[in-house]
Structure formats: structure tokens, C-alpha cells
Amino acid sequence: MATTTDTTYATGDIVKGRPVKHGEPQPTRQGVVLRLFGKDASTGYLVWWYGKGPASMQTVSLMFGRELRRVGALEDLSLRVITNIARGAARYDDAQPIAIKAGNLRLRRRRFRIEDVPADWSPAHRCCLECGNTEPQVQLRAITHTGTSQQALACDRHVDQVGAALG
């Protein structure tokens, strides 16, 4: 568990925690942060434990930041899990931003395959198609259009723009 009280989470963060049901802590599981409960992080977060079913009053809990540990973002999940999140969040008002974000991410993942740059690609020609960044500390991704098999390189900031350029 996070030990600091100033830990903040954003909508769409994947967290681990122990949901509480009828005053009893449940086993540790993964959830997605829906939103802040109040105006600041001290009031807590609404977290949907997506493995327990569609977003509802039974699967969403109010959790404090100290009870959660960030394990990733929505973008880190598999296409199957993102699809289930998009479907499960669609009918719960507080989960609408997650449903939209997961739905868009699902469509992008189905249209493009985003992977690490293969080692056999020439290092002399590694740069982001959008910004031309060639710095070694920049993480480049290989984007492949699933319909046309066109490929391009993009830094993490420009994956969407380069994907749109591919079609």
C-alpha cells in the first residue's frame, strides 16, 4: 500500500486495493479510478473494481489514496480487458469518461498494432515521424496499420498523430 498521504490518482489510473463490502475488506484486486469523490484528493476516489462486473453501486467503492497503489494506466491493459471495461462502464454515469476513453482506445488498438521498435531496424533511421526526435532516451514505438501493413515510428507523445497519418 502507498504510505504517503499525498498520493494522487487520475481518472483512468489502474490501481490495486482492497474493496470493502458490508464493512469487511475483500481480497486485493485491480480497479480503475473513475474520479475524485470531492474537490481534492483528501476526500477520496471512486474506484470501479472491474473484475467484479459492470460498473454499479455494488462494484464501485469510495477509497482513500493511502488505500490504493497505482499499477498502471488504461493504455497498459490488453485489448480484451479494455473492451470489457468499455462495455461495463457504459451504463453507469460516474464511469462515462472511462467508457469513452476505453472505447476510443479499443478502436485505436484494433486499427493499429503498437509495439516496441524491432532491434533489426536501422538505428541511423530511428526518429519520430511527427517531431523528428532522435534522442536516445526517447522511447519510440513501431506502429503498424492492420489493414495496409504500413509502418512508422512515433514517440509516446505522438502515437495518435502518427496513427492518423497512416490512415
Q: What is the pLDDT of residue 151?
A: 85
94 CB burial (10 A radius; 0-12, 13-18, 19+): middle
Q: With beta carbons less than 8 A apart as the criterion, state whether 94 and 55 touch.
A: yes
Residue 152 neighbours by CB distance under 10 Å: 19
Q: What is the pLDDT of residue 2?
A: 45
Q: What is the pLDDT of residue 117?
A: 77
Q: What is the pLDDT of residue 122?
A: 67
Per-residue pLDDT for the chain (167 aa), expressed as one digit of tens each? 444 455 789 999 999 999 988 888 899 999 999 999 988 888 999 999 999 999 999 999 999 999 999 999 898 888 889 999 999 999 999 999 999 999 988 888 788 887 877 777 766 667 777 788 777 777 788 888 888 888 888 887 787 788 878 87
Over the range 46-72, which residues count as b (16 or more CB within 10 Å of their CB) and which as e?
A: bbbbbebebbeeebbbebbbebbebee
State the Cα–Cα distance between residues 128 and 116, nearest whole angstrom. 13
- The model's pTM: 0.70
